[in-house]
């Protein structure tokens, strides 16, 4: 990152990635001055980016021209996963009926990139492709309000998804789950797609409950 991220979308994306990857830690203070210097951006640009991140639930704005990375309690994470489960089932089922050939091809490309990332032990790259894959699926949903709400909920807890990938063998299990889901979407099978999406989210919850330190 650095001086190249000088407009609001660039700063927003860089900050979002930093929060989701753990570069910026929960409860860490982000001052407008330090972010302006880091990104070579104006205070107005940084302020807009922080306000957008607050809407996403990733930071809370402080009164002294700073923001704090949102920290979630273990109970809040599990509650958000319950919300995600309900929304994911609806959105994926709807997406199975509306997904386009171009979107299906995009999913195949992302699956290939996820497989390559695993082979290269690039878990950061795997996580990015994972996020993009879900975005493609959600974009196929005809109910934009539901898809946008799901995106918001998922963004808040994506850092915990990434933590589960760090567990031995979880990356390959995750890839297998996403491959099966994409196959169901390609076959136009709403019931199977919904069931696989639900199993995927429930699997994340089970891992987080089993390895409770991942919730911290």
> Each residue of 2-24: pLDDT tens digit?
445 668 889 998 998 888 777 89
Nearest to 204 by CA among 81, 118, 87, 90: 81
- Per-residue pLDDT tens over the stretch 27-43: 999 999 999 999 999 99
Q: Do residues 162 and 21 make contact, with C-beta atoms less than 8 angstroms apart?
A: yes
CATH of region 8-69: 1.10.10.10
Residues 53-61 have a mean pLDDT of 91
Q: CA 96, CA 75: separation in Å to the nearest integer? A: 31
DSSP for 103-143, written as a single string: HHHHHHHHHHHHHHHHHTT-HHHHHHHHHHHHHHHHHT-S-
pTM across the whole model: 0.83
Domain ranges for the chain, please list them. 8-69, 74-215
pLDDT of residue 5: 60
pLDDT single digits (tens) 99-128: 999 999 999 999 999 999 999 988 878 888
Of the given ranges (13-22, 67-76, 87-96, 129-138), which has the lowest mean pLDDT?
A: 13-22
- Does the structural domain 74-215 have CATH classification 3.50.50.60? no
Mode of pairing for the β-strands spanning 59-62 and 29-31 = unpaired
């Amino acid at each position: 990152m650095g001086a190249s991220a000088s407009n609001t979308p660039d700063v927003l994306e860089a900050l979002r990635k930093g929060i989701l990857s753990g570069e910026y830690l929960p409860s860490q203070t982000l001052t407008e001055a330090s972010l302006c210097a880091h990104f070579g951006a104006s205070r107005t640009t940084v302020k807009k980016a922080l306000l957008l991140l607050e809407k996403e639930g990733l930071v809370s704005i402080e009164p002294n021209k700073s923001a704090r990375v949102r920290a979630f309690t273990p109970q809040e994470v599990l509650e958000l996963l319950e919300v995600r489960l309900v929304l994911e089932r609806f959105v994926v089922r709807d997406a199975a009926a509306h997904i386009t050939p171009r979107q299906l091809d995009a999913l195949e490309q992302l699956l290939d990139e996820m497989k390559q990332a695993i082979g290269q032990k690039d878990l950061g790259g795997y996580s990015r492709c994972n996020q993009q894959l879900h975005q493609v699926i959600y974009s196929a949903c005809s109910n934009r309000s539901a898809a946008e709400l799901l995106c918001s909920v998922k963004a808040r807890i994506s850092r915990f998804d990434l933590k589960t990938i760090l567990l031995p063998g979880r990356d390959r299990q995750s890839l297998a789950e996403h491959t099966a889901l994409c196959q169901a979407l390609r076959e136009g099978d709403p019931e199977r797609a919904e069931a696989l999406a639900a199993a995927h989210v429930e699997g994340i919850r089970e891992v987080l409950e089993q390895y409770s330190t991942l919730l911290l």
